[in-house]
Structure 1
Amino acid sequence: MSTRDDGRGQPRNRENAIVVGVDDSSASQSALDWAAGEAQSRGLGLLVLHSVNVPALPGSVKGSSPKRDLAAVARQLLRAATERVATRFGPGLDVRAETSDLAPTQALVSASRTAAMVVVGSRGSNGAAPLSLGSVSTRVSAHAFSPVAVVPASAASGTEGHGGGRPVVVGVDGSSGAEVALRFALEEAARTETGLVVVHAWEAPVLIGGSTWDPAPHTAVLEAQATGAQESVRAMVREARGPHTEQVPCSVEVVRDQPAHALLVRGERAGLIVVGTRGRGGFAGLLLGSVSRTVLHHATVPVVVARAPA
Structure 2
Amino acid sequence: MELPLVVGVDGSEPGMRAVDWAADEAALRGVPLRLVYASLWERYEGAALAPDLGRSSEQVMADKIVEAAAKRAHRRQTDVKISAEVLPEEPVPALLREGRNASALVMGSHGRSGIAELLLGSVSLAVAARAHCPVIVLRGNHDNQARPGIDQRIVLGVGEEPADSEVVRFAFEEAADHYATLHAVRAWRCPAHETIDHPLLAGEPARHHEQRATEILEAALRDAARDHPSVPVRRRIVEGPARKVLLEASATADLLVVGARRHGHSGLQLGRVAHAVLHHSACPVAVVPQRV
| Normalised TM-score (structure 2) | 0.84
The whole-number CA distance in structure 2 between the counterparts of 1:241 and 1:159 is 22
User: Is 1:122–1:134's contact at 8 Å kept on the other side of the alignment?
Assistant: yes
The whole-number CA distance in structure 2 between the counterparts of 1:292 and 1:156 is 23
**Partner AA of 1:98 in structure 2:** E
Total equivalences in the alignment: 282
The Cα shift of 1:218 comes to 7.1
- Choose from 278, 289, 292 the match for 1:307: 289
Bigger Cα displacement from structure 2, 47-56 vs 32-41: 47-56
Give the match for residue 99 of structure 1: 86
Q: Which has the higher strand share?
A: 2
Q: How has the CA–CA distance of structure 1 residues 295 and 285 changed in structure 2, closer, same or farther, with 3 Å as cutoff?
A: same
Q: How has the CA–CA distance of structure 1 residues 119 and 159 changed in structure 2, closer, same or farther, with 3 Å as cutoff?
A: closer
The whole-number CA distance in structure 2 between the counterparts of 1:306 and 1:116 is 11
**Partner AA of 2:36 in structure 1:** L
User: Is 1:200–1:253's contact at 8 Å kept on the other side of the alignment?
Assistant: yes
User: In angstroms, what is the RMSD of aligned CA positions?
Assistant: 3.3
Please tell me whether residue 296 in structure 1 is matched to residue 257 in structure 2.
no
User: Is 1:273–1:303's contact at 8 Å kept on the other side of the alignment?
Assistant: yes
**Partner AA of 1:111 in structure 2:** E
Please tell me whether residue 145 in structure 1 is matched to residue 132 in structure 2.
yes
Q: Which runs of 5+ in 1 are unaligned?
A: 1-13, 208-212
Matched position secondary structure for 1:81: helix
- Choose from 152, 155, 158 the match for 1:169: 155
Q: Which runs of 5+ in 2 are unaligned?
A: none
Structure-to-structure mapping, 1:159-308, within 5 angstroms: 160=147, 165-207=151-193, 220-243=204-227, 245-278=228-261, 286-307=268-289
| Normalised TM-score (structure 1) | 0.79
Matched position secondary structure for 2:204: helix
Matched position secondary structure for 2:289: coil
User: Is 2:111–2:118's contact at 8 Å kept on the other side of the alignment?
Assistant: no
**Partner AA of 1:171 in structure 2:** G
Give the match for residue 51 of structure 1: 38
Q: How has the CA–CA distance of structure 1 residues 116 and 289 changed in structure 2, closer, same or farther, with 3 Å as cutoff?
A: same
Matched position secondary structure for 2:260: coil
The Cα shift of 1:226 comes to 1.6
Stretches (4+) displaced over 4 A: 62-67, 126-133
Please tell me whether residue 112 in structure 1 is matched to residue 87 in structure 2.
no
- Choose from 66, 70, 89 the match for 2:58: 70
The whole-number CA distance in structure 2 between the counterparts of 1:40 and 1:66 is 38
Q: How has the CA–CA distance of structure 1 residues 159 and 193 changed in structure 2, closer, same or farther, with 3 Å as cutoff?
A: closer
Identity %: 32
User: Is 2:162–2:220's contact at 8 Å kept on the other side of the alignment?
Assistant: no
**Partner AA of 1:184 in structure 2:** F
The Cα shift of 1:148 comes to 0.6
Q: How has the CA–CA distance of structure 1 residues 114 and 100 changed in structure 2, closer, same or farther, with 3 Å as cutoff?
A: same
User: Is 1:119–1:151's contact at 8 Å kept on the other side of the alignment?
Assistant: yes
Matched position secondary structure for 1:231: helix
Matched position secondary structure for 1:98: strand
User: Is 1:146–1:308's contact at 8 Å kept on the other side of the alignment?
Assistant: no
The Cα shift of 1:36 comes to 0.7
Q: How has the CA–CA distance of structure 1 residues 164 and 40 changed in structure 2, closer, same or farther, with 3 Å as cutoff?
A: farther
